[in-house]
Chain A
Amino acid sequence: MKGSERYDVIVLGGGPAGLSAAIYLSRAKIQTLVISEGMPGGQMILTHRVVNYPGVEDISGYQLSQVMKKQADSFGARIVANAIVSRIEADKEEKCVMLSDGRSFCSDALIIATGGKPRSLNVSGEENFRGRGISYCATCDGEFFTNKAIVVVGGGNSALEEAVSLTKYATEVHLIHQFDHFQAFPYAVEEARRNPKIKFYLSSVVTEFGGEDFLEYVKVKNLLNQQETELKVNGAFIFIGYEPNTQLFKQYPILNERGEIVVDENMKTTLPGVFAAGDAVAKRYRQITTAVSDGTIAALAAAEYINELNKHIKLVS
């Protein structure tokens, strides 16, 4: 593409999978660009303590991210952080990535390591009241809800455990979950059930967050009888899991029904020259170590692809 910066490989995503791929590629002298939506590290930077990363006894996710970034930098990878990707062309021989600020980058191979992102409810008022009643982190913001009523949305381990933890501050916690049972481990459900401050709303969904300057009420609809209830609360904590960050690839036949990228054992997708790694990939276990492993395999496979491409170019020229 005319006017684009050219690289051998573009890695989309700066989490552990993307940074591992960048370390391997750039060390192999392959011109590598990492495009990261946030700061390098992905979801890893949000992990308070990492104590099961082999070879490192105890480190914060933030510090581990910084080390990985430094390694990628030291081998010559270029990292563009806090970038917003507006469009991707992945099905042509030349892969191109366009950013919202007008910059564009092209390469021979693409590694998709875009990870996952917390699900939002996409309910009226959710965006307006973020930081003014709506939070996604109990440890960060719990104390602001001392002696206030709140809702917690979700039915997994995070939702149940955080609901219990928030009873330290809140006068009452309304736990809202769309299904008729919880996905959390039995011990977490049991602990929540035993807590007298927690009220349960199963088979229910939030339909609206409302208030003037700050959150004042949440509307909840019971899916069984369609009845809507308005809860007078000042806080809402949302823990409804993660989804793969793959919206930009919807037009390509590489996603499964959950929006995850399907790859083979070498992290290849069905699109030539397009590889994927990390939490965006369809797989059962999602850990920093598995992301690092995926990133390494994707890098080695992409390097092989680039080498084959170069051999072919030499043969025909």
Chain B
Amino acid sequence: MLYTNLDHIETAAQLQQIIMENENVMVICGRMGPMCIPVYGIAEQLRDEYKHVKFYDMEFDNPEAHIIRNLPEVRGFMGIPFTIYYKNGKVVKATSSIQTMQQVRAILDEYFGAPVNA
């Protein structure tokens, strides 16, 4: 169980629906471990700023997370969390393991655009 303050995705169908209904989505697929927790924290902080992006997490060990684990974009990844960025339902970027605030911001700005009030 992920006890973060992000909204959780429980099923593959739910993820499909979310990425179809929202233009910009970031999903962090991980566990409650040292490489994952900092990324959840970054997303928790950035969601107030990047209001045009939806932020979610999904438990890596949930069998339904096959929808992320089997993505071609994560082939060869050898570190959790797998963080996936979707635009209009398509994967535009995927990262492996811990990321810094600057790295996450750079991806959000590049693929989803910087916050309007920035």
Contacts and interface: CB of A to CB of B under 8 A. Distances in A.
Asked whether A and B interact, the reply is yes
Nearest to A39: B41
A38 interface: yes
A134 B42 CA distance: 22
B98 interface: yes
Contacts of A133: 78
B32 A137 contact: no
B101 A235 contact: no
A132 B31 contact: no
A82 B45 contact: yes
Interface in A129-154: 130-137, 139-141, 144-145
A38 B34 contact: no
Interface residues on A, range: 20 to 34
A121 interface: no
Contacts of B37: 39, 45-46, 62
A62 B95 CA distance: 23
Interface residues of B, number: 26
Contacts of A82: 41-42, 45, 101
Contact of B3 (A60, A135, A140, A145): A60
Contacts of A81: 41, 45
B18 interface: no
A239 B95 CA distance: 23
Nearest to A235: B78
Nearest to B78: A144
A45 B3 CA distance: 12
Interface string B71-113: 0000011111000000000000001111001100000000000
Given A140-B80, A141-B35, A135 B44 contact: no
B9 interface: no
A48 B45 contact: no
A133 B76 CA distance: 9
Contact of B35 (A38, A39, A137): A137
Nearest to B42: A82
Interface string A144-167: 110000000000000000000000
Contacts of A290: none
A63 interface: yes
Given A46-B34, A82-B101, A131-B96, A141 B78 contact: yes
Contacts of B32: 48, 60, 62
Interface string B26-63: 00001111111110111011000000000000000000
Nearest to B4: A62
Given A140-B79, A140-B80, A213-B76, 4 more contacts: A62-B37, A131-B77, A135-B79, A139-B33
Closest 5 pairs (CB-CB, A-B): A39-B41, A131-B97, A131-B96, A131-B79, A46-B34
6 contacts: A39-B38, A63-B3, A140-B35, A213-B76, A234-B78, A235-B78
